Amino acid sequence: MSLEPVYKRVLLKASGEALMGGQGFGIDVTVADRIASDIAEARHMGVEVGVVVGGGNIFRGVAVASKGGDRVTGDHMGMLGTIINALALATSLRKLNIDTVVLSAISMPEICESFSQRATLYHLSMGRVVIFAGGTGNPFFTTDSAAALRAAEMGAEAIFKGTQVDGIYTADPKKYPDATRLDRLTHQEVLDRGLAVMDVAAVALARENSIPIIVFSIHEKGGFAEILTGGGLKTIVSDN
């Protein structure tokens, strides 16, 4: 029995670290395949899906800068990492016969299409999963900000932040095991309480555009579909 989804058009943010699985670096194909199967389930329910993939499993600009490298070059490396991840996830989706297109914020026409809002809306209307690669295309930003930006551009009803933990806690649960999960917050509360599950710029952009953020664990098989039908463990960030 499959339940009706509560949402029709959503943006899923999958962190690069999630794709790494148990490895120290790179992409674990079994994890990419599993995340793809969750996205396929959403498509089979008729939900239109845009995906922003992170790149933290390959490079982070700050890590390059902390070892004496140039931050902007480091961020360029990070953004290229997100494109590698996007191609891997697209491959996993196509293995499941899910029509998928990669749109990159950094033009590389031999490899994938360039991002535009017009292309995004066209591909969504054709029933394709749209994977947004290259973050925002600018250094000093994150793929969380790209998620908020693309969600606004595609008219997503909500941002689904698939992460290592099953919601927003009173403090980072990895550092504070006594922290408790919060069911509901406003964007302003996330900012005021410094709940660092998503960066400030991303939360502020989502707030400006009245887009709810739903934080859930990307590691639960079938979790995305469950959250889409209104169930599952999660935190909802919304102003109403």
Ligand X SMILES: Nc1ncnc2c1ncn2[C@@H]1O[C@H](COP(=O)(O)OP(=O)(O)O)[C@@H](O)[C@H]1O
Binding residues for UMP: 55, 75, 136-143
β-pairing verdict for 9-14 and 158-163 = parallel
| Backbone torsion region of residue 96, taken as left when φ is above 0, otherwise alpha when ψ lies between -120 and 50, otherwise beta | alpha
Scan residues 135-164 and list those touching ligand UDP (CB under 6 A).
135-136, 138-139, 141-146
Binding mask 13-42 for ligand UDP (x = CB under 6 A): --xxx-------------------------
Query: Is 217 a residue that touches ligand UDP (CB under 6 A)?
Result: no
Query: Is 61 a residue that touches ligand UDP (CB under 6 A)?
Result: yes
Nearer to ligand X, 149 or 195 (CB): 195
Report the SS3 class of residue 93: helix
Nearer to ligand UDP, 5 or 139 (CB): 139
For residue 168, the partner it binds in ligand UDP, ligand X, none, with Cβ less than 5 to 8 A by kind, is: ligand X
Annotated binding site: 13-16, 55-56, 60, 75, 136-143, 163-164, 169, 172
Q: List residues bridging with 100 in a β-sheet.
A: 129
- Which residue's entry shows tokens 């953004």? 79
Neighbours of 16 (CB within 10 A): 22
Scan residues 67-106 and list those touching ligand UDP (CB under 6 A).
74-75, 78-79, 81-82
CB of 233 to ligand X, least distance (A): 12
Query: Which helix (DSSP H) or strand (DSSP E) does residue 123 occupy?
Result: helix 117-125
**Residues 132/82, Cβ–Cβ less than 8 Å:** no
Q: What is the Cα–Cα distance from 27 to 92, expressed in whole angstroms? A: 12
Nearer to ligand X, 101 or 205 (CB): 205
Q: What is the Cα–Cα distance from 181 to 86, expressed in whole angstroms? A: 30
Query: Is 50 a residue that touches ligand UDP (CB under 6 A)?
Result: no
Query: Is 167 a residue that touches ligand UDP (CB under 6 A)?
Result: no
Number of residue whose CB is nearest ligand UDP: 54
CB of 74 to ligand X, least distance (A): 16
Q: What is the Cα–Cα distance from 40 to 29, expressed in whole angstroms? A: 16
CB of 131 to ligand X, least distance (A): 17
Q: What is the Cα–Cα distance from 218 to 203, expressed in whole angstroms? A: 19
Nearer to ligand UDP, 23 or 180 (CB): 23
Q: What is the Cα–Cα distance from 67 to 104, expressed in whole angstroms? A: 28
Q: What is the Cα–Cα distance from 93 to 108, expressed in whole angstroms? A: 21
Query: Which helix (DSSP H) or strand (DSSP E) does residue 91 occupy?
Result: helix 71-95
Please report, as ranges, the residues that interact with ligand X according to CB under 6 A.
Answer: 15, 17, 54, 56, 163-165, 168-169, 171-174, 195-197
Interface contacts to ligand UDP, rule CB under 6 A? 15-17, 54-56, 60-61, 74-75, 78-79, 81-82, 135-136, 138-139, 141-146
